Structure 1
């Protein structure tokens, strides 16, 4: 981003010494005094003198005048919508300028706005590496966030994100783009909750999405890319299973999706109405209830009831029965356990024709709902093939209805992602943290 300028177009110079802590000041000009109905942008943004070492406001383009907060304890201040605010300026002790837009102020309260936050940093050589210096925490409980994001039937869409996957122009951006360009999928973003596994992922989530929740686990560092079957990977996968169990106990149904899954079509019409637990497959045998199907834990739809809750408890406790295995392997072990029959759990395996992946791609773009970058090792390979996948889908959208019906195109993937690239891992489907 271009650094902010002063009114005389000179470069922005942070003060050499910290100014006195500014008080909260808000004097809305006539252009925004109308409250939340005011326009969301104008030609300039003026930081009040409290945000500057001089008495002359700093002017930035394309935003509205904003108030200032001193020494913020968090990055998502609660701003009542009656103030008609479009942005918030906050001070931090870091020598750089950052503009993060948009951030929610109160995701759990409809009476609040999602607003950009302009952050002025000063007097530290750290260059604004705020992820290492500022403790970021949830402003709202998981229950509040789920309640706000849920559909009328209490269904939410969940995904997990860590720092390694949260970088700009990385997999999270492709994931969200797929929702925006998919068939009847854009509206589903209103029901998506991103579960951040570290503080930087949490802050990136807040910059690009409405519903974010920081899953705190101080015992394990989840911010790096965790490779398949490493101790960090196993801890993360089992932490995920336990977390999903807690969501079920709160009374919410969920679609869990790995972030390396592209959403090209609304999947809900393709789900089975009477199933408790539905899961995508690496390999589909052709029968929805065949236990010989190879399930993939990266995509599943689960209804909240006593059967599913007990199933998730059993799944989680089975990690001790099968130590050293990840959740997907353990699921393959327990799917034939008599306890599942005793529970009365109805388990359905989803057809790869609709819920495909690079292990077994969906061939017909007229039927595909989701495509998973599974059977792939390493973020670079995954990013390459996911971008090709999005390009293929965009081309499909340009075709006339008659050409679409002819199914004249298919995926150009896998390319960099291939089983051949995994041979040096002795045949194990080596995957990165979100690929299970």
Structure 2
């Protein structure tokens, strides 16, 4: 065995002694300590990261794919477009305290209102209401008064369901009408006046349209009427027996099947069948193709779409002779069924001209039959509303 060299046996240098003095409390740490700390850190990171990764994977794998609009995609096949409607008990009446529940759980409440108001053939009359139109003397009072003063229209009130978009409108509805339904939205305030084509107006219109689709799916046909449509005669005898979807017009070209008619969404008759249900899905989802447009404009776009023919929907347009409005008034008071405050922006302008409409109708009803036949009276509107809109 070779002897150790002199260098090996030599005492530690002064420098090494100064760095590591002989006291055992100041000896250098063991070489494996850094590895132990690193391993502990890795274990901590793994303990936190692994559950997060599992949760992220579960969320991603169970989320629906993003919507893509393009050729070959049918956007009307989307799911879950309408929040659950809630009917508020009359003894409560506080919509703020009611959260939207599961859609299926809320169906019986909607079904109850529809059944009670339905005609024998499962047809109802629907209108919508928010707080801006609900105050005493406002639009909803004129609307109901027109039924009471019209010809063979008073009995139709028992088939009218008023859909309230907010607490104030629901409470007012229960004061003046027996059939009220509260359609609440947790994150949107629909109580204020929605000016034409504002974001709130568009959201309100599309929510309304999706609710009408729900009514059709429940098996109910309906006339939908804006509350600023005055009912002067029973419109049912003037509807077409073979039309799945029938619409009043801003402008009528003289032929009920001509797609050049400019439809108005404020007055529609719709039969509940597979064609109309599919069409309402298509119509509602077409908002993705035409962002920034309201439901009426989108209808006037998609009425030319080949898919409407493919599903077999029969569209009929209603003559302004019977279903008129400010845009194109019904000239003959002996024939008029409804008059709509269309072509009119702003609540006060609508109220002004609607009150004049009602005054003109009262004057007509008080005339002797001979003068009525002569057509001696005509509308004094528009005044605050405008035909140029």
- Name the CA distance, whole Å, in 1 between partners of 2:89 and 2:278: 38
Number of residues of Structure 1 aligned to a counterpart in Structure 2: 297
CA contact (8 A) 1:150 1:156 kept: yes
2:205 aligned residue: 237
Aligned with 2:268 (options 291, 297, 300): 300
Tell me which of 162, 165, 170 is aligned to 2:130: 162
Once the two structures are overlaid, the 10-residue window that deviates more, 377-386 or 137-146, is 137-146
- CA 249–140 in structure 1, closer or farther in 2 if over 3 Å, else same: closer
Deviation by residue 1:40-96 (Cα, 9 ceiling, x = unmatched):
xxxxxxxxxxxxxxxxxxxxxxxxxxxxxxxxxx7624xxxxxxxxxxxx9xxxxxx
CA positional deviation for 1:298: 0.4
Give the deviation of 1:136 after TM superposition.
10
Instruction: Tell me how far 1:289 sits from its aligned partner.
Output: 0.5
3-state secondary structure, aligned to 2:247: strand
Matched residue, 2:339: 371
1:136–1:199 contact (8 Å) kept in structure 2? no
TM-score (structure 1 length as normaliser): 0.66
Following superposition of structure 1 onto structure 2, how do residues 4-403 of structure 1 map, counting pairs within 5 Å? 76-77=90-91, 141-403=109-371
Please say if residues 261 and 370 of structure 1, whose CA atoms lie closer than 8 Å, have aligned partners that are also in contact. Answer: yes
Q: Which has the larger radius of gyration?
A: 2
Distance 2:229 2:385 in 1: 14
SS of equivalent residue, structure 1 residue 160: strand
Taking a change above 3 Å as real, the CA distance of residues 140 and 213 of structure 1, as seen in their structure-2 partners, is: farther
Shift of 1:381: 1.0
Shift, 1:219, TM fit:
2.3
SS of 2:334 mapped into structure 1: coil
| Aligned-pair CA distance for 1:133 | 7.6
Partners of 1:76 and 1:139 within 8 A in 2: no
Maintained 8 Å contact 1:155/1:254:
yes
For the 8 Å contact 2:216–2:272, the answer to whether it is kept is yes
Q: Aligned residue for 2:50?
A: none
Report which of the two has the higher share of strand. 1
Query: What is the deviation of 1:134?
Result: 6.5
Which consecutive aligned stretches of 4+ in structure 1 deviate over 3 angstroms post-superposition?
130-140
SS of residue in 1 equivalent to 2:313: coil
Work out whether residues 261 and 373 of structure 1, in 8 Å CA contact, stay in contact via their aligned partners in 2: yes
Choose the corresponding residue for 2:381, options 413, 418, 422: 413
- Return the alpha-carbon distance in structure 2 between the equivalents of residues 189 and 389 of structure 1: 20
For normalisation by structure 2, the TM-score amounts to 0.74
Distance, in Å, in 2 between the alignment partners of 1:75 and 1:334 is: 39
Q: Provide Cα deviations, 1:360-397, integer angstroms capped at 9, x if missing partner.
A: 00000010000000111111111111011001001111
2-side partners of 1:148 and 1:190: how far apart? 9
Structure scoring higher RCO (CA < 8 A, sep ≥ 6) equals: 2
Unmatched 5+ residue regions in structure 1?
A: 1-73, 78-89, 91-129, 421-428, 430-436
CA distance in 2, matches of 1:350, 1:173: 26
Residue 371 of structure 1 aligns to a residue whose secondary structure is strand
Deviations 1:138-166 (A, max 9, x none): 99711110011000000000000000000
Q: Return the alpha-carbon distance in structure 2 between the equivalents of residues 368 and 132 of structure 1.
A: 38
Q: How far apart, CA to CA, are the structure 1 residues paired with 2:249 and 2:95?
A: 39
Cα separation, 1, equivalents of 2:167 and 2:96:
11
Which whole-Å CA distance do the structure 1 matches of 2:150 and 2:225 have between them?
15
| 2-structure distance, mates of 1:210, 1:136 | 23
Deviation at 1:403, TM superposition (A): 1.2
CA positional deviation for 1:325: 1.0
* Partner secondary structure for residue 304 of structure 2: coil
Please say if residues 127 and 226 of structure 2, whose CA atoms lie closer than 8 Å, have aligned partners that are also in contact.
Answer: yes
Give 2:8's aligned residue: none
Q: 1:214 to 1:403 in 2, by over 3 A?
A: same
Displacement of 1:419 in angstroms is: 3.7
Report the equivalent of 1:20. none
